[in-house]
Amino acid sequence: MRNAPTILHLDMDAFYASVEQASKPSLRGKAVVVGGLGPRGVVATASYEARVFGVHSAMPMGQARRLAPNAAYLVPRFGIYRDISEQVMGLLRELSPLVEPLSLDEAFVDLEAGGAAWDEASARLVGVRLRADIRAATGLAGSVGLAASKMLAKIASEEAKPDGLVVIEPGTERALLAPMSVRTLPGVGPATGDHLRRAGIHTVEEIAEAGEDELVRLLGKAHGHALYAMALAHDERPVVAEREAKSVSVEDTYDVDIHDRVRVGLEVQRLADRCVRRLRGAGLSGRTIVLKVRRYDFSTLTRSETLRGPTDDPGVVREAALRLLDSVDTTGGVRLLGVGVSGLADYTQEDLFAQVAGERVEHGEEGDHEEPLAEREAALPVERRWVAGHDVRHVEYGHGWVQGSGLGRVTVRFETPESSGPGRVRTFRVDDPGLEAADPLPLVRGRRGVSGGDAGDRGTEVGGVVGAEAALRGPERERGGGAAGEAPPVVPG
């Protein structure tokens, strides 16, 4: 372990909720909960004002509503979150070539590798400047931890929350760790924590006192050795600049169990198309198609098929996913479906087109060309859907966001990040010709906004997951119910 606190851990504070508060002046200083809004939705992020009521990430949304009934409940806008994350990660890469993103809002940085810091004073100065740069670029707050190892830097950033900076000086690590709960250490989840508690071990100091042999006896060789080393503040893990993606996947949880076999098949095809869009967006292809099915009784089945070579063709992925579905009994109902691709590569094997069931004509040859399912669905005349928290524009009132919709009405608050106070509220029919979906506005004047794809994808992307993104209930299935605290929509007089 190095002798200077030159490993930095950045964690943006309540990231999704903070973005929403910065975008919407009427929500600043108020409880905001971001996540899937359906009966089976989960909380992705809660603002600090909502956490006062006991709301936290991964909590069922129904429980969150009971704890904080007057909070604003919004569907995530991953497009703007990714855009802001790119700005933040760009600032980190100016400090060092070794930046290890853990999620959209969290990363490690090796300051020594970039020559940005070499001792406690220079590291602290970098941390102060970084927080100021992030606020200037995004208007958001981030907490910074600095230490001689990744484990301690992450612990430091947790201690710094919200909107602070903590430096753990070399030589003070064990004294700092000693009184902390065993759950503070990486790899100690609820099950391991309970196991240690039953053995009379509650703090990090008690782990060190128990000794390595006792930990190996309790937890096994690998886990026991690793935990004992961490209790002694030993962590030699390097900051890794690039993490190779192992798979790309999307999934949806449904409000009501799906019993109709045809509907299940259509959902699998739709998920396959979404998965391929993400695969192509990352410039990847894959050999192994994976289907995930969670049935009515919460039993989860996973089926996979490995192709002759990597592909990014939606037809191939759809057909493989449907073949996998044939082996799954869905008679009792399905509550979750997912499609993924693993065995990733950065090339495709053209002859895999032949694997698609039936002899379809590909690449613009003569004959009927089958459009991807998602494109066919998009072409169908369907009722316009307005998702709580998402951006809209009205020809008369300008830019705003959806507070709620239902019963053929949509309620919009018209305000922008630069508004001096809460904007005015108007209610429209869902088919009002003057109202349309819009791209999010940048949080800071002069900064670019998100790509136009965010508005178009708002109905298809929330249910899927890539890496650490939470699996939320897809907003394309949202029907009624607006942000908490709002009266039911009414027709304007």
Question: Whole-angstrom Cα distance, residue 277 to residue 313?
Answer: 10
- Sequence letter at residue 284: L
- Sequence letter at residue 48: Y
Q: Of 100, 106, 469, 476, which one is the catalytic site residue?
A: 106
- Angle, helix 78-93 to helix 15-23, in steps of 10 degrees: 110
Helix, strand, coil % in the chain, rounded to nearest 5 = 35, 25, 45
Please count the other Cβ atoms lying within 10 Å of the Cβ belonging to residue 221. 10
- Cβ-contact 34, 17 below 8 angstroms: yes
- Cβ-contact 411, 394 below 8 angstroms: no
106 is catalytic: yes
Question: Whole-angstrom Cα distance, residue 55 to residue 34?
Answer: 11
Residues 124-132: contacts with CB under 8 Å, at least 24 apart: 124/165, 124/167, 126/8, 126/95, 127/8, 127/165, 127/167, 128/165, 130/8, 130/10, 130/91, 130/92, 130/95, 131/163, 131/165
Please count the other Cβ atoms lying within 10 Å of the Cβ belonging to residue 301. 14
Question: Whole-angstrom Cα distance, residue 423 to residue 190?
Answer: 44
Question: Whole-angstrom Cα distance, residue 251 to residue 81?
Answer: 20
Q: Where are the alpha helices (DSSP H) in 178-293?
A: 190-198, 204-210, 212-219, 221-231, 261-281
Q: Which residues are catalytic?
A: 106
